[in-house]
Every structure is written in structure tokens, then in C-alpha cells.
């Protein structure tokens, strides 16, 4: 039995797609356990580039069963479009399994995501506008519709009627929008149901069965620790639990099913959307990181905010996820700097915080305390072994490893599959 969880430890876009892809070669089942199509996971294979939003990365491998677990919120239109796009590129999506318990993103969720952001004005969260928050809100309020409802027209219609009554009042009376038609949604969604029916199963028993028979299962986290609804920088978070602990609830397994937990972090840090970001770089350095790192969102195309590696937040995330190893990506991007900063503590009203502060006011207003590392300036994209790296790059990795007390197993030096090198034996 081998359950492996892979999680982002920053604010997303750490390169989870690339590392998941590498692991897929050796796993049998890949499960998405939270989030929805707010995710954008990039996989580069030779000339081919895939941007996966809802489909687990295992979809790219014929030997893998890709699973969308009960903790995911699914926009069926987007799912079908993504499946069709891969089919057009010659990949089979037949193996996809979708949990009947996964909640559906409905047309009113998309509208509500848009109008609530508009109403918040300068206080907006900067969501991906994919309806994620409103869908999870309905799940918690117990008025959500689930994938299995698509298979029962009567139930679907009844549940929709209950939900839509309230949503239409909200949309028309509070936001001045037009009401949505019950019949239109029924027709649209039942057609999706017909298409998705062969994929909708009890994924819990599938995943548990795989583990019980000794096959390996990879739990592919989307978003990241600092965007976690309970443990991130609330309210500037997403509405699910991307942390490793979330994999149990979101995929239907127990804590003892996961034995290896891999955290992914960039060698620097980025964030899309609003919210505090203590180690955000000054505009000049930020621009260099944007350009050198190609820091534009995979899902929304937005320019990512860029900053330096935040060791305080990383320490917090390593502990919270009980990482067994850390993978550092985009080390190659730091070749653009003579000096590299790392945020080692926060300062607020004369106090120094080396641990993640318990109060959001401190995190919002703190100043970063930086330690500087010497840069290396040479191109490292061809490095395949730790010894191929300049000594300054090795010192940087060692410095980070000591700060977060977690073994760095690999460093990635480019977007391509083979652009990776082993740093230390995990668990060493």
C-alpha cells in the first residue's frame, strides 16, 4: 500500500503539475481531492504542453486511473470540454472516474462569484470567477447538487427547484440580475449527465480497493497551503482544504493510508489575487521574476505577484502538512539575480516573529526580515545532478533546508520533464 500526497506549500502555482507528472510514471491511481477548475496545472512533455484544470494529471498516462474525488466541485460543462480537448489531441479519457458525491458548480454559482466580487469592490478576493466559493457554500448549506443527481432527472429537477428559488431571489432582488430558468438548466445538465454517466462511480471503494491491493495512489493537491480555507490567509483563500489532511476527507481515505507527503515550493514565491504577501518583491525585482519565471496564471492569464521565498510561511506549511520531503521548483529562475533574498522572520511593532503569527493583523502589517544569499548568475537549466549546480545554488538549497527542517529531495531547473535533479534521499 502506498498513498502519496502532493501539496503546494505557498499560494499555488508551485509547479505541482510538473512534479505530479513525474510521479505518475510510477503510480496506478491519481486523485484530485479538492478545488475545481480554479486550478491550472501545467505539464510539458517534449513539444506538448498541457494545462489541466479539472482532470487529474494521471489522465496523460494510459496505465493510470484518474479520479475526481468527492471533495472536488465540478463544472460538468468544463469537464466535458477538457475531456474533448484531450481526445482531440489523441488521448483517451475513458478511464476517468468521477465521484457521485462530488458537488456540481451550477450556472448561478458562476453568476454569484462574479457579482459578489463586483460588490466587494476594492476589498474583492480576486477569485478565479469559476464559481468555487458559492458551490462550496451551498455544499455546506446542504442545498448543493451532486454528480449522482445528474443520473436521476426527478431528483435533479426537485433539488434544483429548491436551490433556484433562493438563488433567483438573490440574483434579482439583491444584485439586479435576470432570473435563471429552471427548465433551461435541467435540460443542459441532464445532457451532461448522459455524457458523464459512464464515468460516475463510487470512487471511495475504487481508491480504497487500490490501496488494499497494494497499488499506489497519488493524491494530487490543487491550490496550496496558504490558500487553505482553515489554515491559510483567510479571507484571501480558496474555499477548500488543499493541505495534506484534506486529502483524507476529499478522497475518502484514512490518515494511515498516506505514507509519503511531498510539498512543492518555488525557489521564490508568487501569489495571484488579493491578500497579504509579506515577502512581495519591490517592483523592479518583481518584474524580473515575472519575466524570468513566466509568471502569468495558467487559468486566468493574470500576472502573478512575485516575491522572495518566505521561510516563515514555509516552516508553518511543512509542519501543517507533515511533509516527508520538499521539492524546490524554478531554481533556474533565480539565475537572474546577483543577490537572492529569503524572508527569515517577520517584524511587527518591535517584535520579531520566526513562527507564523497567530493574528492576521500581524501578518497583514509585518515587515519581512531578509537574509541574503549569493547568486550564481549562470544558466543551470542543463543541470541534472547536484554536482552540476554552482556552489552558490547548493548553498541556497542547504540554507532553505535548514530553515524549514525538511529534506529537499529534488530541485527543478526548468519546465520540461527531465529538467530535475536529486538533492537528498527523502527521509534522510
By annotation, the residues acting in catalysis are: 13, 41
Q: Does 329 bind ligand GDP (CB under 6 A)?
A: yes
How many residues make up the chain in this entry?
428
Identify whether the C-beta of residue 242 lies closer than 8 Å to the C-beta of residue 34.
yes
Nearer to Mg ion, 301 or 427 (CB): 301
Binding mask 215-254 for ligand IMO (x = CB under 6 A): -------xxx--x----------xx---------------
Q: Does 15 bind ligand GDP (CB under 6 A)?
A: yes
Q: Does 332 bind ligand GDP (CB under 6 A)?
A: yes
d(CA 321, CA 90): 37
- b/e map of 151-173 (b: 16 or more CB within 10 Å)? beeeebbebbeebbeebbebbee
Q: Does 44 bind ligand GDP (CB under 6 A)?
A: yes
Q: For residue 332, give every residue at least 6 positions away whose Cβ sits within 8 Å of its Cβ, in sequence order, or none.
A: 379, 380, 381, 413, 414, 419
Least distance CB 17 / ligand IMO (angstroms): 8
Identify whether the C-beta of residue 341 lies closer than 8 Å to the C-beta of residue 371.
yes
Nearer to ligand GDP, 40 or 263 (CB): 40
Q: For residue 10, give every residue at least 6 positions away whose Cβ sits within 8 Å of its Cβ, in sequence order, or none.
A: 224, 225, 226, 265, 266, 269, 270, 271, 310, 313, 314, 317
CA atoms within 13 A on the CB side of 401: 22
Identify which range of 100-108, 126-134, 247-255, 415-423 contacts ligand IMO by CB under 6 A.
Answer: 126-134
Q: Does 126 bind ligand IMO (CB under 6 A)?
A: yes
Give the one residue of 133, 250, 252, 368 binding ligand IMO; rule: CB under 6 A.
Answer: 133
Nearer to ligand GDP, 228 or 257 (CB): 228
d(CA 220, CA 302): 23
Binding mask 342-361 for ligand GDP (x = CB under 6 A): --------------------
Give the one residue of 3, 8, 245, 246 binding ligand GDP; rule: CB under 6 A.
Answer: 8
CB neighbourhood size of 340 (10 A): 24
Q: Does 18 bind ligand GDP (CB under 6 A)?
A: yes
Q: Does 40 bind Mg ion (CB under 5 A)?
A: yes
Least distance CB 117 / ligand IMO (angstroms): 9
Identify which range of 68-76, 127-135, 311-319, 335-343 contacts ligand IMO by CB under 6 A.
Answer: 127-135
Give the one residue of 318, 327, 412, 423 binding ligand GDP; rule: CB under 6 A.
Answer: 412
d(CA 144, CA 165): 13
Amino acid at each position: 500500500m502506498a498513498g502519496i500526497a502532493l501539496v503546494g506549500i505557498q499560494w499555488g502555482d508551485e509547479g505541482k503539475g510538473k512534479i505530479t507528472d513525474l510521479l505518475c510514471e510510477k503510480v496506478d491511481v491519481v486523485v484530485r481531492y479538492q478545488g475545481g477548475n480554479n486550478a491550472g496545472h501545467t505539464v510539458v512533455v517534449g513539444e506538448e504542453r498541457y494545462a489541466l484544470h479539472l482532470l487529474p494529471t494521471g489522465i496523460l498516462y494510459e496505465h493510470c486511473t484518474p479520479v475526481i474525488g468527492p471533495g472536488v466541485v465540478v463544472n460538468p460543462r468544463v469537464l466535458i470540454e477538457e475531456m474533448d480537448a484531450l481526445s482531440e489531441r489523441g488521448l483517451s479519457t475513458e478511464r476517468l472516474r468521477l465521484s457521485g458525491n462530488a458537488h456540481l458548480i451550477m450556472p448561478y454559482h458562476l453568476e454569484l462569484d462574479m457579482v459578489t466580487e463586483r460588490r466587494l469592490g476594492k476589498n474583492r478576493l480576486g477569485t478565479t470567477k469559476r464559481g468555487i466559493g458559492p458551490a462550496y457554500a451551498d455544499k455546506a448549506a446542504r442545498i448543493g447538487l451532486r454528480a449522482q443527481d445528474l443520473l436521476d432527472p426527478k431528483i435533479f429537477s426537485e433539488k434544483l427547484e429548491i436551490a433556484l428559488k433562493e438563488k433567483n431571489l438573490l440574483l434579482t432582488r439583491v444584485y439586479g440580475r435576470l432570473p435563471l430558468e429552471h427548465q433551461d438548466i435541467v435540460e443542459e445538465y441532464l445532457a451532461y449527465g448522459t455524457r458523464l454517466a459512464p464515468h460516475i462511480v463510487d470512487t471511495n471503494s475504487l481508491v480504497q480497493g487500490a490501496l488494499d491491493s497494494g497499488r499506489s495512489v497519488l493524491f494530487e493537491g490543487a491550490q496550496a497551503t496558504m490558500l487553505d480555507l482553515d489554515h491559510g490567509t483567510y479571507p484571501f483563500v480558496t474555499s477548500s482544504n488543499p493541505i495534506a489532511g484534506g486529502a483524507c476527507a476529499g478522497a475518502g481515505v484514512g490518515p494511515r493510508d498516506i505514507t509519503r507527503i511531498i510539498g512543492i515550493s518555488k525557489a521564490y514565491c508568487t501569489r495571484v489575487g488579493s491578500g497579504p504577501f509579506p515577502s512581495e518583491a519591490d517592483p523592479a525585482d518583481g518584474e524580473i521574476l515575472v519575466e524570468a519565471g513566466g509568471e502569468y496564471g495558467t487559468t486566468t492569464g493574470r500576472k502573478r505577484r512575485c516575491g522572495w521565498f518566505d521561510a516563515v510561511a514555509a516552516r508553518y506549511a511543512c509542519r501543517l502538512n507533515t511533509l516527508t520531503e520538499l521539492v524546490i521548483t524554478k531554481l533556474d529562475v533565480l539565475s537572474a539575480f546577483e543577490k537572492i533574498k529569503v524572508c527569515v522572520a517577520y517584524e511587527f511593532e518591535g517584535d520579531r516573529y520566526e513562527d507564523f503569527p497567530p493574528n492576521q493583523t500581524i501578518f497583514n502589517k509585518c515587515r519581512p526580515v531578509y537574509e541574503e544569499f549569493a547568486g550564481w548568475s549562470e544558466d543551470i537549466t542543463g543541470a541534472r545532478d547536484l554536482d552540476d549546480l554552482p556552489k552558490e545554488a547548493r548553498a541556497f538549497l542547504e540554507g532553505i533546508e535548514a530553515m524549514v527542517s525538511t529534506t529537499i529531495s529534488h530541485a527543478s531547473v526548468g519546465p520540461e520533464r527531465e529538467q530535475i535533479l536529486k538533492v537528498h534521499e527523502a527521509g534522510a
